[in-house]
Structure 1
Amino acid sequence: MNARVSGVLVNGALVAIAAFALFPLLWMLSVSFMQPGEASAFPPPILPAHATFANYRELFERAGMGRYLFNSLIVASAITTLSLLCNLAAGYAFAKLRFRGRDRLFKSLLVALLIPAQVAMIPLFLIMKSLHLVNSYGGVIVPALATMFGIYLVRQYARSIPQELIEAARIDGAGELRIFATIVLPLLKPIVATLAIFTFLSSWNDFMWPLIVLSDEAWQTAPVALAGLSREHVQDNELMMAGSVVTTLPVLALFLVLQRHYIQGLLLGSVKG
């Protein structure tokens, strides 16, 4: 078998796998434009007989999805910005700063990666309640300010920065904050992009914690609101698909635009770590 035939077979297989993976998303988009009850027919139609935007109008005008999307945007943006600052600073400290018990402390923190997040939700809720952060943006944002995964990812990448470069800056009289801002951060740019995308996607799609800490409907995020909407309109598949589209498309578009930086950061971190 020559190289051209094998290339055609491989590319054909990849196209088939991609089509299989994308079909549910495309069908979800198609159903969102169908008339009420049309998707419940058997066999279910692939394309709408008469496309309509009525489901999207009802979603925003009557269900108030615009408010929930705004809540998700505020929460995801704040978590991404603040957690980047905390994770970058902590990861750099564990990688390049020498202090007593550094390695022992880092190894003990790694244990947090083995503990399911659900185990800590009840005590975390009690802490948020004592801080009067329940039913507020702060109740969702504060627990996500630093993650062991983000600290670990930054630390592994920061270890590749030459120590001589940092020592030279110290000899020239630069303080630690200036070294971090002007020397280290530009070198961490690939991993910053990776961590920013990962954090935004995970915080936007988070369901369990916002469901626990945000009991007031006015503060709910889009995934929680969509789950509540599905209970009220359990038979309205077209409306549910429209809600799924408006919840999924923003993060999907963000990932597609920045996927090159995301993959590059992961690969560089794995090679240099």
Structure 2
Amino acid sequence: MDTAMKTTIHSDPGRVGKWLRRRSSWSQLLLYIILIVVSLSMIIPFLWMLSASFKSEGEIFGFPIQWIPETFHWSNYAKVWTELPFATYYLNTVKISVLTTLLQIVTCSMAAYAFAKVKFPERDKLFFFYVATMMIPYQVMMIPQFMLMKELHLLNSHWALILLGAFNPFGVFLFRQFYMALPEELSEAARIDGLGEFGIYARIVLPLSRPAIASLIIFTFMHSWNDFLAPLIYLNSDGLFTLQLGMQHFQSEHSTEYGPLMAAAVSAVIPTIIVYFLAQDHFVKGITAGAVKG
């Protein structure tokens, strides 16, 4: 700090305080502007998709963009739900996403409890190698998994997608970090009362894991709902298609009619938004569990 600044601080501390507050205000204003710009860049494509789903083909790419159509073309939604087996695609996707999510909650929470609360030889090394499998690209595992499903006679079946999605190293890591933050005294008191390990997991630890469960539900449901590559590999019959394959099939069959395609996209994104808003209260707690200690 130079001599002039020191002199100013000692001679007029109130002026320095005003300058610091003004500087802090400008920094906050700049931060808010950046956040608003980033938020708009994320939400504008969704708003354009919603607006385009009610427009005719000629209006969709008009410039400047008319966000509110003069005439709402509800026929775009009617065409999607009547000319395609869209309800079948919807139910197939719901079935796969819900079952995959439920199975992941069970398998990940149980495995994480063992890695966090049960002491056995080489536990930490085994956990390290298990979590390290997240570093393996899906393209490397794609062919071995396909051969395994072929041997199990599960090709062209929803169960191929459900079973492959039922285990997730990230989910185990998420639950373990949460369990590590739970006081060990809870488990010790339960053991004194006569509960076994499964009883401690089911009656004490799992009910306390709502933030981790909510976080895993959001990640797993959204990934399963939006997955395109895995259904493309394992599903061949139109009656088994998910929404992603159904929309791709619709696009190839109807020469890219953007109005109905945007209506299908809006219909497809609604469940993920509902799931997020239902679980958002616990989402941040689940993500940050175990991040700060002390």
1:137 aligns with 2:158: yes
Partner of 1:48, secondary structure, is coil
250-259 vs 80-89, which moves further: 250-259
1:32 aligns with 2:82: no
1:60 aligns with 2:46: no
Q: 1:208, 1:235 → 2: CA distance?
A: 20
Q: 2:95, 2:293 → 1: CA distance?
A: 34
**TM superposition shift of 1:61:** 0.5
| Structure 2 residue aligned with 1:198 | 219
| Structure 2 residue aligned with 1:209 | 230
1:77 aligns with 2:102: no
82-91 vs 187-196, which moves further: 187-196
**Pair member with larger Rg:** 2
* Cα offsets for 1:101-143 (capped at 9, x unmatched): 2222112212211100121111111111111211222111001
1:261 aligns with 2:282: yes
**TM superposition shift of 1:45:** 4.2
Return the match for 2:271 from 216, 230, 250: 250
39-48 vs 50-59, which moves further: 39-48
> Over the residues paired in the alignment, what is the CA RMSD in angstroms?
2.1
Q: 1:152, 1:258 → 2: CA distance?
A: 19
| Structure 1 residue aligned with 2:167 | 146
User: Does structure 2 retain, via aligned residues, the 8 Å contact 1:69–1:222?
Assistant: yes
User: Does structure 2 retain, via aligned residues, the 8 Å contact 1:31–1:241?
Assistant: yes
Which one-letter code corresponds to 2:99 in the other structure?
A: A
Which one-letter code corresponds to 1:47 in the other structure?
A: I
Q: Pairwise mapping of residues 70-109 of structure 1 onto structure 2 (< 5 A)?
A: 70-109=91-130
**CA distance 1:230–1:247, shift in 2 (3 Å):** same
**TM superposition shift of 1:2:** 6.9
Which one-letter code corresponds to 2:181 in the other structure?
A: S
Consecutive unaligned residues of structure 1, counting only runs of 5 or more, are none
TM-score (norm 2): 0.86
Which one-letter code corresponds to 1:76 in the other structure?
A: S
TM-score (norm 1): 0.92
Give me the identity figure in percent.
38
Return the match for 1:161 from 182, 190, 195: 182
Q: 1:80, 1:272 → 2: CA distance?
A: 29
Which one-letter code corresponds to 2:77 in the other structure?
A: Y
